[in-house]
Structures are given as structure tokens and as C-alpha cells.
């Protein structure tokens, strides 16, 4: 195991189709990608065959779990990005007319991945309902990534506060809230300080660290900034109780598509 943070390494947990991996390579990083869906894993192998060959890309076709072995994974039939190992999330997706197919996949503890490949400079987590499984695994690690991001919960204010408490206890003191619907292409700085151009693919998690727009916030500034976002999720969000009511008729469903709030946010955290 690497004894300190590897400044040229990124973990992409929930790599999907490699929308972010391509950006990381342009910035000059090595990538360890974790993707549970075997179909998407095959796509990644083909897309990044060159990087696999030169050793800059490692693909782990397993789901993050609390134990080693096998677990159920729910492949969404409508949106592949909604694949999840969380049965509750699969039920939620079904309520949104997006059913899943249950398959069995191999599982791996996140701590084992860190033990094997070392501590990354940036940890991107997007695994639909299991993000905190990775964050909690950092508690037993002597070293933690300088940067990490996760899709913050918008269903429980208590759980959101617990996310920030956990991150703070892990040494993360600066935060940014990033709207995942608004990633733009532009100029970004590489590991070596050079500027490159990049246009993000749909579904990408986007930039991280110093390449993010805006100022870093304290924990309580970030929590206060989440208050209006959380209220919008609860009142007009795609998973809100009012949304479930209006979807019962065709006319109201049309109105819902126009006025519902379907943005989602990642919380980015930094250790100083």
C-alpha cells in the first residue's frame, strides 16, 4: 500500500461509461475505476483499451459492499446511470416508471481497494445510494484523499447533516455545492499547470478541486446553502410527494415535466 496520498491518482467509483475518466486522463492522472454493471464494464474495457495497456487505467468490475462475495445489483432498464445495489433506490426508480433487472455481481470492500492501490488525490463517488459506504471506509485509513465528491442525499435532512459531520470528522473543512445539470466545457488546468480544453459529456460529474468555479465554503455555510435546495427537492422535486400525486393524470404529468425540479447536487470536500 502507498504510504501517502498518490498525487497522480484518481478513484472513479461509479464510472458508468467513462464520462469522467476521459477528463481525468487529459489532466494527467492515472485512474482506478469501479463499475458494477458488467455491460458498462465491457464498454469501459473497449473505450480505454489503450490506457489499460499502458497501465494508467485499472478497472474493477465489482460493486462496493460491506463484505466480500456477491450481492444483488439492480440494472435500470430506462437509465443505466440509475444502476444501484440499494433495493430502496430500485423501488424508488420503479415508482418513477423506471424498472430494474436484478442481477448478481461480485462485491468488494472499499477499504480493500485503498489497501491495494493506495490513497488517491481525488475520490469521485457516484454509486446511487451507497456513496457513504466509501466515505465511512475512510475512517479506518491513516491517509485520506485531498479532494472527494459525492451525490448528497436530498431525501433526509438528518442524513445530509450526518454527511457533513462525517466529512468534518475525516478532516474535510472546505466545501462546494455543484449543480450536476450545469457542467460547461471550457479551459481546465492539468496536473502540470497547463491549460486544456474539454467539453463534458452528458452525465459527467465534472471538474474537481481548483478547477471548480466559486469559493470554498465552511461546513455551516454549505449546510445553509443546501436549505433552499432541499426545500425545492421536497416540494417540486421529481421524488417529492406532490410529484407522485400530479403524475396520476396525463395532463398533470405534462405540467410536472415542465415545472418539476430535477437538478441534483454533488458535495465537493477538501482537506487543507
Q: SS3 of 26, please?
A: helix
* Strand pairing report for 57-60 and 147-151: unpaired
Residue 242: the pLDDT is 53
Q: Kindly report the pTM of this predicted structure.
A: 0.89
Highest mean pLDDT among 90-94, 238-242, 249-253, 255-259: 90-94
**Residue 133 to residue 209: CA distance in whole angstroms:** 22
Helix then strand then coil, % of the chain, to nearest 5: 40, 25, 35
> In this predicted model, which residue has the larger pLDDT, 267 or 128?
267
Beta-bridged to residue 147, according to DSSP, are: 122, 270
CATH code of the domain occupying 5-234+264-270? 3.40.50.150
Cα within 13 Å of Cα(259), Cβ side = 13
Q: CA nearest 31: which of 47, 50, 46, 52?
A: 52
Encode pLDDT of 185-233 as tens digits.
899 999 999 999 999 998 899 999 999 999 999 999 999 999 998 888 8
Q: Which residue has the cell 430502496?
A: 88
Give percent above pLDDT 90 in the chain: 68
pLDDT at 56: 97
As a whole number, the mean pLDDT across the chain is 89
Task: Please check whether residue 175 is in contact with residue 236, taking contact to mean a CB–CB distance below 8 angstroms.
Answer: no
Structural domain boundaries of the chain? 5-234+264-270
Cell representation of residue 108: 468488494
Write down the pLDDT at residue 261: 47
Instruction: Give every CB contact of residue 111 below 8 A, 6+ residues apart in sequence.
Output: 137, 140, 141
Please answer whether residues 266 and 150 qualify as being in contact, where contact means their C-beta atoms are separated by less than 8 angstroms: yes
CA 121 to chain centre: 16
pLDDT, tens digit, 9 for 90 and up, residues 56-71: 999 999 999 988 999 9
The span from the CA of 200 to the CA of 207, in Å, is: 9
Amino acid at each position: 500500500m502507498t504510504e501517502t496520498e498518490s498525487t497522480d491518482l484518481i478513484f472513479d467509483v461509479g464510472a458508468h461509461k467513462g464520462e469522467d475518466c476521459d477528463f481525468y486522463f487529459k489532466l494527467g492522472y492515472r485512474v482506478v475505476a469501479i463499475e458494477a454493471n458488467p455491460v458498462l464494464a465491457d464498454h469501459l474495457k473497449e473505450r480505454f483499451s489503450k490506457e489499460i495497456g499502458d497501465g494508467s487505467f485499472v478497472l474493477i468490475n465489482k460493486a462496493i459492499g460491506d463484505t466480500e462475495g456477491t450481492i444483488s445489483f439492480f440494472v435500470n432498464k430506462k437509465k443505466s446511470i440509475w444502476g444501484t445495489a440499494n433495493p430502496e433506490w430500485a423501488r424508488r426508480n420503479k415508482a418513477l416508471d423506471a424498472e430494474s433487472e436484478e442481477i448478481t455481481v461480485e462485491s468488494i470492500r472499499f477499504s480493500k481497494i485503498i489497501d491495494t492501490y493506495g490513497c488517491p488525490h481525488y475520490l469521485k463517488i457516484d454509486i446511487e445510494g451507497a456513496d457513504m459506504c466509501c466515505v465511512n471506509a475512510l475512517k479506518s485509513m491513516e491517509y485520506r484523499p485531498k479532494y472527494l465528491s459525492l451525490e448528497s442525499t436530498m431525501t433526509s435532512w438528518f442524513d445530509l447533516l450526518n454527511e457533513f459531520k462525517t466529512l468534518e470528522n475525516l478532516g474535510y473543512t472546505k466545501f462546494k455545492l455543484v449543480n450536476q445539470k450545469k457542467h460547461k466545457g471550457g479551459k481546465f488546468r492539468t496536473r502540470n499547470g497547463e491549460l486544456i480544453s474539454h467539453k463534458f459529456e452528458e452525465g459527467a460529474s465534472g471538474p474537481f478541486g481548483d478547477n471548480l468555479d466559486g469559493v470554498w465554503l465552511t461546513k455551516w455555510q454549505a449546510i445553509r446553502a443546501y436549505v433552499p435546495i432541499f426545500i425545492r427537492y421536497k416540494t417540486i422535486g421529481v421524488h417529492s410527494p406532490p410529484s407522485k400525486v400530479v403524475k396520476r393524470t396525463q395532463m398533470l404529468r405534462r405540467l410536472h415535466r415542465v415545472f418539476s425540479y430535477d437538478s441534483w447536487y454533488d458535495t465537493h470536500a477538501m482537506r487543507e
